[in-house]
């Protein structure tokens, strides 16, 4: 079995904000990390390898710094890691990203046929969740998004069964390999790397492929291959809150005033009194 994980290096988004006065990004102290969903995808790939045998390859498209995430993947047990880096890749939207990743997966497939590709449900910066379906469609792989469990793989009959989230619950579904999974955080708890493994990973070579190495057509890459453009950025619309009342002073009065405010909107008061009917 050949498992391929796609890992994106992302800024720790909880820290990124816009300065309301200058309308610029505040990124002091923001670290780059491997996208948390992708670390779960890697964990699942490693477990599948332990169970069914085979190899785990990891690819990441990004600037040279994305190497850090790939070293992390090596220290956790990936067999082969490849950095997809080329100036031509820069500025890619999800259409161009899925193109680049699928070219790389095709190349990996020539070395050893790929059975399962594992992606995160979404990257925490771009947040689109579009790359996985894009790659699956380009490669013609069976697509399973929002996966919360991998039940089994039948290596003989080339079938996989997973559990995935749907709107009203979850479904158990099986389909033919090769398949692409996008995974939810609860799928698996990632392991920690041992110190020797981390040290060892520092010495391992990291493969690097550029556009020509993956046989990509330059006009489909990066900015040129991207139909969507960012026009502008802004802070989420600011709201000024209504009045607040301090219950520490006089509890009954604070609550009464609160209800006065709420009920001052007569149509709202009527709806509440009727408990929302019509």
Partner 1 sequence: MAKNTKGIEVAEIISDKCIACQICIGECPVAAIQLTAEGVARIDPELCIGCGKCSESCPVDAVLFEKKKKRRLRKEERGIPPEAIPGYEGVAVFIEISENVGAQVSWELAGKARELAEALNSKVMGFLLGSGVEAIAQDAVAYGCDEVHVIDDPQLEHYLPVVYGKALADLSETLRPEVLLIGATHLGRDLAGVVATHLRTGLTADCTGLAIEQETRLLLMTRPTFGGNIMATIFCEHKRPQMSTVRPRVMRPPEKDEERKGVIRHHEWTPPMVELPILVELIRDSADAEGIDIARSPALVVAGRGACDPSTFHLLEELAHLVGGAIACSRPVVESGFMPYERQVGQTGKTVAPKLYIGVGVSGAIQHLVAIQGAEKIVAINSDPKAPIFKVADVGIVGNYLKVVPELIAQLKKRVG
User: Closer CB to partner 1, residue 46 or residue 209?
Assistant: 209
User: Closer CB to partner 1, residue 199 or residue 223?
Assistant: 223
**Stretch 159-218 residues interacting with partner 1 (CB under 8 A):** 161, 165-176
Site for ligand FAD contains 228 (CB under 6 A): yes
In the bound complex, what is the minimum distance in angstroms from residue 33's beta carbon to partner 1?
11
3-state SS, 146-202, equals: EEEEEEEEECCCCEEEEEEEECCEEEEEEEECCEEEEECHHHCCCCCCCHHHHHHHH
User: CB atoms < 10 A from the CB of 97, how many?
Assistant: 26
User: Closer CB to partner 1, residue 134 or residue 190?
Assistant: 134
Site for partner 1 contains 55 (CB under 8 A): no
Task: Return the range that interacts with partner 1 (CB under 8 A); candidates 42-50, 52-60, 106-114, 133-141.
Answer: 133-141
Burial letters 1-25, b for 16+ CB under 10 A, else e: bbbbbbbbbbeeeeeeeeeeeeeee
Among 53, 196, 205, 248, binds partner 1 (CB under 8 A): 248
Site for ligand FAD contains 44 (CB under 6 A): no
- Nearest partner of 36 among 84, 72, 78, 80, judged by Cα: 72
| Ramachandran quadrant class, 40 (left: phi over 0; alpha: psi -120 to 50; beta: rest) | alpha
User: Closer CB to partner 1, residue 194 or residue 271?
Assistant: 271
Among 20, 156, 252, 266, binds partner 1 (CB under 8 A): 252
User: Closer CB to ligand FAD, residue 57 or residue 97?
Assistant: 97
Measure the CA–CA gap between 106 and 122, rounded to whole angstroms. 22
Among 44, 131, 142, 143, binds ligand FAD (CB under 6 A): 131
Among 138, 155, 207, 213, binds partner 1 (CB under 8 A): 138
Task: Return the range that interacts with partner 1 (CB under 8 A); candidates 108-116, 120-128, 193-201, 202-210.
Answer: 120-128
Q: Using only C-alpha atoms, what is the Rg of the chain?
A: 24
The H or E element spanning position 81 is strand 80-84
Task: Return the range that interacts with partner 1 (CB under 8 A); candidates 105-113, 188-196, 206-214, 248-256.
Answer: 248-256
Residue owning tokens 């802004």? 234
In the bound complex, what is the minimum distance in angstroms from residue 5's beta carbon to ligand FAD?
7
In the bound complex, what is the minimum distance in angstroms from residue 199's beta carbon to ligand FAD?
25
Do the bridges between strand 116-120 and strand 2-6 make them parallel or antiparallel, or are there none, so unpaired?
parallel
Q: Which does 199 bind (CB under 5 to 8 A by kind): partner 1, ligand FAD, none?
A: none
User: Closer CB to ligand FAD, residue 231 or residue 266?
Assistant: 231
Kindly give the residue spans of alpha helices, DSSP state H, lying in 7-123: 36-52, 67-76, 94-111
Q: Please work out, in degrees rounded to the nearest 5, the angle formed at the alpha carbon of residue 34 by the alpha carbons of 103 and 70.
A: 60
Q: Which residues lie near ligand FAD (CB under 6 A)?
A: 6-8, 14, 35, 37-38, 59-62, 92-94, 97, 101, 119-120, 122-132, 228, 230
């Amino acid at each position: 079995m050949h498992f391929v994980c796609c890992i994106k290096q992302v800024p720790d988004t909880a820290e990124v904000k816009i300065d309301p006065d200058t309308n610029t990004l505040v990124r002091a102290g923001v670290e780059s990390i491997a996208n948390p969903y992708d670390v779960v995808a890697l964990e699942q790939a490693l477990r599948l390898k332990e169970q069914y045998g085979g190899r785990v390859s990891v690819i990441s498209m990004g600037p040279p710094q994305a190497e850090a995430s790939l070293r992390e993947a090596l220290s956790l047990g990936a067999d082969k890691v490849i950095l997809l880096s080329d100036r031509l890749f820069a500025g890619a939207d999800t259409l161009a990203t899925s193109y680049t990743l699928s070219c790389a997966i095709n190349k990996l497939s020539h070395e050893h046929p790929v059975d399962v590709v594992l992606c995160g449900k979404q990257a925490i910066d771009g947040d689109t969740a579009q790359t996985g379906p894009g790659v699956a469609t380009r490669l013609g792989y069976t697509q399973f998004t929002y996966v919360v469990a991998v039940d089994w793989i039948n290596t003989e009959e080339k079938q996989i069964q997973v559990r995935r989230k749907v709107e009203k619950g979850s479904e158990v579904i099986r389909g033919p390999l090769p398949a692409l999974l996008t995974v939810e955080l609860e799928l698996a708890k990632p392991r920690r790397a041992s110190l020797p493994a981390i040290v060892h990973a520092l010495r391992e070579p990291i493969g690097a492929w550029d556009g020509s190495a993956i046989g990509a057509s330059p006009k489909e890459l990066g900015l040129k291959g991207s139909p969507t453009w960012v026009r502008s950025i802004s802070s989420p619309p600011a709201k000024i809150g209504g009045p607040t009342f301090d219950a520490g002073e006089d509890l009954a009065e604070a609550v009464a005033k609160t209800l006065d405010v709420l009920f001052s909107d007569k149509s709202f008061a009527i709806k509440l009194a009727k408990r929302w009917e019509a």
